[in-house]
Amino acid sequence: SVLHAKVIVNPAAGGYAAHREWSQISRRLHDIGLSFDYEYTEGNGHAIELAQTSAEAGYSHLIAVGGDGTVNEVANGILRSTASSKVILGIISAGTACNFARSLGIPQDYASSCSLLTSQRSFLIDVGLVEYQSRGKSLQRFFVNQADVGFGAAVVDARKRLPNRLGKTINYALYAVGGLHSALNYRNQGVTLCLESKVEHIRLGTMVVANGAYFADGMYLAPQARVDDGLLDVVIVGDIDKLELLKIWPRLYRENLVEHPQIRVEKATSITIQSPERLLVEADGELLGECPASFRVVPSALTIIKGAGTSQQNNAPPLPTPKPPPSVK
């Protein structure tokens, strides 16, 4: 069993579902024999700080309780720490969007995801690193599931204005409807895109840089994406008109890639994008800043506990030695 775990709980995740369910989650963790300490996050960025401090204090396992945003922060804290190769990340799904957990085959209910934590099914995954602009500064952030430029980021921006205390199911429905509304009101932008060293000028609806397969409120946008192949899947939605977007929207949730002349997928290790217009950047469901932006893969950077249903097969040793991640500004 896991001997020395720090559980980082985002109480606001899933419309405060994480806060309401924490006593049951905590009981479940005790039942499976987990020895742990826990801390509540107190706002944006706090989980990064808690995770970095906990990793450097010698915890062998850090467990994120929340959605994609919480997992992103805990992963960033681990990767920024001096002990990133010695820490294993576990996930208990409790947020509105748990796309990364889904990509890893981790169940969406907390009872089942708790049981996985003592399974020893850990493996090494790649992460992405995005460099973006915020208030005149160039900043960097790791992402585990996906990053997005275009209407996907506009959706995340609009979502910030929605109430968060309505519970997980209502939040999810609001996000889905709000997502479609934002996408239909979005104006496609002219961009310069560089994939590896291939430069192109296109009008862009959205570009998703995917490490995991699921996106937004459960879209199956990058079915070929693998978290351990050393590559990012770049889903490019070009100058698609709104009627077409409305027609294909329901198909974006099914288990195969939508075939459309304005949608294509490329595999790459590095991508840059710029635009004369203001273009927002988000990663793992959190709005970061704006373009110009660059994305690159950091192979075998993070050890994570996976679910039973994941397609990735390579089991990492209990304490692997991943390559040190690049330093973050």
Per-residue pLDDT for 307 more than 50? yes
Per-residue pLDDT for 79 more than 80? yes
What integer pLDDT is reported at residue 256 of this predicted model?
67
Distance CA 100, CA 285 (A): 11
Task: Return the residue matching tokens 């950077």.
Answer: 301
Per-residue exposure over 101-111, b if at least 16 CB sit within 10 Å of its own CB, e if not: bbbbebbeebe
Per-residue pLDDT for 21 more than 70? yes
Pick the more confident residue, 182 or 123.
Answer: 123
- Determine contact, residues 273/292, Cβ cutoff 8 Å: yes
For the segment 219-239, the average pLDDT, to the nearest whole number, is 93
Percent of the chain's residues with pLDDT above 70: 83
- Determine contact, residues 25/110, Cβ cutoff 8 Å: yes
Distance CA 319, CA 123 (A): 10
Report the amino acid identity of residue 72.
N
Mean pLDDT of the chain: 85
What integer pLDDT is reported at residue 107 of this predicted model?
87
What integer pLDDT is reported at residue 221 of this predicted model?
83
Distance CA 99, CA 83 (A): 26
What integer pLDDT is reported at residue 109 of this predicted model?
83
77-80: long-range contacts (C-beta < 8 A, 24 or more apart)? Answer: 77/47, 77/48, 77/49, 77/50, 77/51, 77/52, 77/53, 78/51, 78/52, 78/302, 79/127, 79/142, 79/301, 79/302, 79/325, 79/328, 80/48, 80/52, 80/325, 80/328
For the segment 77-103, the average pLDDT, to the nearest whole number, is 91
**Does residue 224 sit in helix, strand or coil?**
coil
Nearest to 4 by CA among 157, 137, 118: 118
Per-residue pLDDT for 96 more than 90? no
- Determine contact, residues 46/53, Cβ cutoff 8 Å: no
The string of pLDDT tens digits covering residues 277-294 is: 999 999 999 999 999 999
What integer pLDDT is reported at residue 17 of this predicted model?
83
For the segment 17-40, the average pLDDT, to the nearest whole number, is 92
For the segment 191-218, the average pLDDT, to the nearest whole number, is 93
Least confident of 56-60, 193-197, 259-263: 259-263
Per-residue pLDDT for 32 more than 70? yes
Distance CA 37, CA 21 (A): 17
What integer pLDDT is reported at residue 55 of this predicted model?
97
Instruction: Enumerate the β-bridge partners of residue 140.
Output: 131
CB atoms closer than 10 angstroms to residue 288 = 22
Q: In sequence order, what are the residues at sequence separation of 6 or more whose Cβ sits closer than 8 angstroms to the Cβ of residue 115?
A: 32
Least confident of 195-199, 214-218, 296-300: 214-218
Distance CA 4, CA 115 (A): 16
Least confident of 196-205, 220-229, 297-306, 307-316: 307-316
Number of H helices, E strands in the chain: 8, 15
Nearest to 168 by CA among 110, 103, 100: 110
Distance CA 258, CA 249 (A): 9
Question: Which region holds residue 248: left if phi is over 0, alpha if psi is between -120 and 50, else beta?
Answer: alpha
Nearest to 109 by CA among 184, 24, 31, 42: 24
The string of pLDDT tens digits covering residues 132-153 is: 999 999 999 999 999 999 988 8
Distance CA 225, CA 233 (A): 6
For the segment 167-189, the average pLDDT, to the nearest whole number, is 65
For the segment 88-104, the average pLDDT, to the nearest whole number, is 88
DSSP E strands in 205-255: the ranges are 206-210, 232-237
Domain 5-126+301-305 is of which CATH architecture? 3-Layer(aba) Sandwich (3.40)
What integer pLDDT is reported at residue 50 of this predicted model?
98
Q: Classify residue 244 as exposed, middle or buried by CB count within 10 Å of its CB (0-12, 13-18, 19+).
A: middle
Q: Name the CATH topology of 128-297.
A: Tumour Suppressor Smad4 (2.60.200)
Query: Domain extents for the chain?
Result: 5-126+301-305, 128-297
